[in-house]
């Protein structure tokens, strides 16, 4: 059952990530027409795509800073796209699915440590993505994000480099409320 749920979350995550990536980084006019940037709240952008049962809304932010370390020393790192997002997919019963893409493959079997104020969470990894185990964990993290100032996500690459991505949470609550309203 847990594997099936993870596979379902992975499929939904892949769809959301691909749609968002197309909106943000594709020069293709067709992709730009399929996704609407519905607004922005401080450091968070709000997007929507589809209609009816296939409607998808999400908020996304890039890190305000990031650091790469190996053996306790700063190192340079080549990374692809880096972002944190929260998806709303009513047709799948998804209200607050949190996901991060880090721009490198994670170490096999590793987790991402998420620090928001005094709250600490763990996300499981798959390729360049990480997300929480279930909807209850998503909800706990989202509540902490609403109260927090920033979120620090610490992960380890397949090469053993530790990265710390710091995201501002200013505007997070307003952006999430807008996405939930758009997809209600």
Predicted TM-score (pTM) of the model is: 0.80
Which has the closest alpha carbon to 182: 65, 70, 41?
Answer: 41
Question: What pLDDT, on the 0 to 100 scale, is given for residue 87?
Answer: 96
Q: Report d(CA 172, CA 145) in Å as an integer.
A: 7
Domain ranges across the chain: 35-183
Residues 31-50 have pLDDT tens digits of 443 666 666 677 899 999 98
Q: Report d(CA 155, CA 112) in Å as an integer.
A: 5
Residues 53-89 have pLDDT tens digits of 788 999 999 999 999 999 999 999 999 999 999 999 9
Residues 79-121 have pLDDT tens digits of 999 999 999 998 888 889 999 999 999 999 999 999 999 999 9
Class of the CATH-defined domain 35-183: mainly beta
Residues 139-178 have pLDDT tens digits of 999 999 999 999 999 999 999 999 999 999 999 999 999 9
């Amino acid at each position: 059952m847990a594997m099936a749920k993870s596979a379902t979350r992975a499929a939904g995550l892949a769809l959301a990530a691909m749609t968002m990536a197309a909106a943000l980084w594709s020069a293709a006019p067709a992709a730009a027409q399929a996704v609407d940037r519905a607004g922005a709240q401080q450091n968070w952008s709000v997007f929507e795509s589809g209609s009816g049962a296939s409607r998808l809304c999400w908020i996304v932010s890039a890190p305000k800073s990031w650091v790469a370390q190996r053996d306790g020393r700063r190192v340079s790192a080549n990374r692809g796209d880096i972002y944190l997002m929260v998806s709303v997919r009513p047709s799948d019963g998804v209200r607050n699915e949190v996901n991060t893409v880090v721009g490198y493959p994670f170490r096999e079997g590793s987790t991402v440590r998420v620090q928001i104020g005094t709250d600490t969470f763990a996300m499981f990894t798959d390729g360049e993505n990480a997300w929480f185990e279930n909807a209850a964990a998503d909800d706990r993290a989202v509540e902490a994000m609403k109260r927090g100032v920033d979120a620090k996500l610490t992960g380890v690459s397949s090469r053993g480099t530790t990265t710390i991505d710091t995201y501002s949470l200013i505007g997070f609550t307003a952006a999430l409320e807008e996405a939930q309203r758009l997809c209600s």
